[in-house]
Structure 1
Amino acid sequence: MHWFDDADAIAPALPAIWLVRTHAAPRNLTERSTLRRGMARRIVARQLGCREEDVAIAHDAAGRPLLDLPRETGLHLSLATRAGIVAVGLARQPLGVDVERVDVQAAPPRDLLHPDERRALMEVDTNQRARSFTRLWAAKEAYVKALGSGFRRAPESFAVSLLSETAFRVTDASAPAAFTGALRAMKNGGHEIMAAAIVVTS
Structure 2
Amino acid sequence: MTADSAPDVLVRPGECHVWTARAVSVSPDRLRLLDDRERRVYESLLRPGERALYLTAHALLRLVLGEALGRDPAGLVFAAGPHGKPYLEDAPVEFSLSHSGERVAVALTSGTPVGVDVERVTRPAELPLPVLSEEERVAFDRVPGPERAAAFTAYWVRKEAVLKATGEGLRVDPARLTVSAPDRPARLIGWRGRNDVQPHRTVRLYDLDAGEDYRGAVALLGGGAHRIVRRTVSSVRC
Same fold (TM over 0.5): yes
Provide the secondary structure at the position in 1 that maps to 2:157. Answer: helix
Unaligned runs of 5+ in 1: 1-6
Displacement of 1:164 in angstroms is: 4.7
**Greater fraction of residues in strand:** 1
Displacement of 1:42 in angstroms is: 0.5
Look up the match of 1:49.
70
Look up the match of 2:19.
18
Deviations 1:130-175 (A, max 9, x none): 111101001111111111111111111110113657x311122414
CA RMSD, aligned part only? 2.9
Tell me the number of residue pairs that the alignment of Structure 1 and Structure 2 aligns: 189
Deviations 1:76-105 (A, max 9, x none): 121111113221111221111111111134
One of 159, 173, 186 as aligned partner of 1:168: 186
Q: Does the 8 Å contact 2:96/2:164 carry over to 1?
A: yes
> Counterpart amino acid of 2:217?
A
Provide the secondary structure at the position in 2 that maps to 1:186. Answer: coil
Distance between the aligned counterparts of 2:118 and 2:25, measured in 1?
15
Quick check: 1:182 aligned with 2:206?
Answer: yes
Look up the match of 2:171.
152
One of 60, 70, 90 as aligned partner of 2:81: 60
Displacement of 1:54 in angstroms is: 3.7
Sequence identity of aligned pairs in percent?
26
Quick check: 1:112 aligned with 2:113?
Answer: no
Distance between the aligned counterparts of 2:23 and 2:54, measured in 1?
14
TM-score of the aligned structures, taking structure 1 as reference length: 0.79
Displacement of 1:179 in angstroms is: 2.8
> Counterpart amino acid of 1:82?
S
Look up the match of 2:231.
none
Unaligned runs of 5+ in 2: 3-8, 27-41, 224-238
Cα 1:11–1:123 change in 2 (3 A) is farther
Look up the match of 1:90.
108
> Counterpart amino acid of 2:203?
F
Distance between the aligned counterparts of 1:24 and 1:135, measured in 2?
28
Provide the secondary structure at the position in 2 that maps to 1:78. Answer: strand
Provide the secondary structure at the position in 1 that maps to 2:213. Answer: strand
